[in-house]
Amino acid sequence: MSEKKERGQKTTRHLVAGFSGGLTSALALQPLDLMKTRVQQSKDNSLMNVLKSITSVKQLWRGTLPSAIRTSVGSGLYLSTLHLARNNISKLKNSQAPIFNASSKLPKLKAYENIIIGMLSRSIVGFITMPITVIKIRFESNLYQYKSIKEAVIDIFKYNGINGFFRGFGATCLRDAPYAGLYISSYEQLKSILPKLMNLQKNFDHNNNNNNIQELGHLSSGIINSTSAMIASIFATTVTAPFDTIKTRMQLSPEEFTTFSQTSIKLYNENFMRFFDGLSLRLIRKAGSAAIAWCIYEELVKI
């Protein structure tokens, strides 16, 4: 098999693995995303009020279709892009096969390299998926009563034009790019640290110059990868929480919240803690999503 064809198959594998992990997490955790959006949409909303406003279990999965499209496609594009960038940089640095660790088939890079690559990859994919992100947010909110994606597209274009589909991109980028950079860097560090702390790597060769480090079993690697993903996600989510609230306000009420700076000032005047609205829900969702998506992704790319 030619090198070009093999590289294409590997990229496709990462795309499919990322898509699968993203889809699974989106379907499982949609209720948390919906409640987080509704808590953030207004200064008067609390989690208790949101729960009282939901009259059926079915309502918890409102917006699942745009959410599933965004998360699955976004994860597939992001993780395949991330893989290509990291693999190429690793090869250039080592002028041979990339270096891996015992729980993963993903190339090992330095922390700052992971931060830069994660931020750039997330920004690019975030721009591509921005229209479906705006639609997803509006579906989850109870400020709009769309019955289909087509209706949402027509309404957004009618009142906000093409710019409406990219509303809040600045805030989204300021949230997602740092999140991705902090997450991937922390995640990779934790994958190296946890096997030693959990005494799972005592029989493995720790020489960083050895590219044939023995792999952990599926159960052990799954535990390491999902735990690393959860811890890294909690850290990155907390740091970037204010940008998530700003983004949500701008996307749901574009007439009231017109710019990033104006939205920030309004939130600050309401109460500084408004910047962290929905944080507990977002922490649970992001940690759960990361654990599910990255565990599935890491195991599928080994096949």
pLDDT in tens, 65-89: 999 999 999 999 999 999 899 888 8
- Over range 154-178, report the average pLDDT: 94
- Please determine, for residue 173, whether its predicted confidence score (pLDDT) is greater than 50: yes
CATH 1.50.40.10 fits 3-300, yes or no: yes
Contacts of 267 (CB under 8 A, 6+ apart): 242, 245, 246, 249, 274, 275
Place of tokens 């919906």: 34
Q: pTM here?
A: 0.82
**Residue 207, pLDDT score:** 44
CA distance 244 to 120: 18
Share of the chain above pLDDT 90, in %: 64
CA distance 84 to 97: 14
- Please determine, for residue 264, whether its predicted confidence score (pLDDT) is greater than 80: yes
Q: Which two tokens stand for residue 242?
A: 């204010």
| Least confident stretch, 40-44, 149-153, 240-244 | 40-44
Amino acid at 20: S
Domain ranges in the chain?
A: 3-300
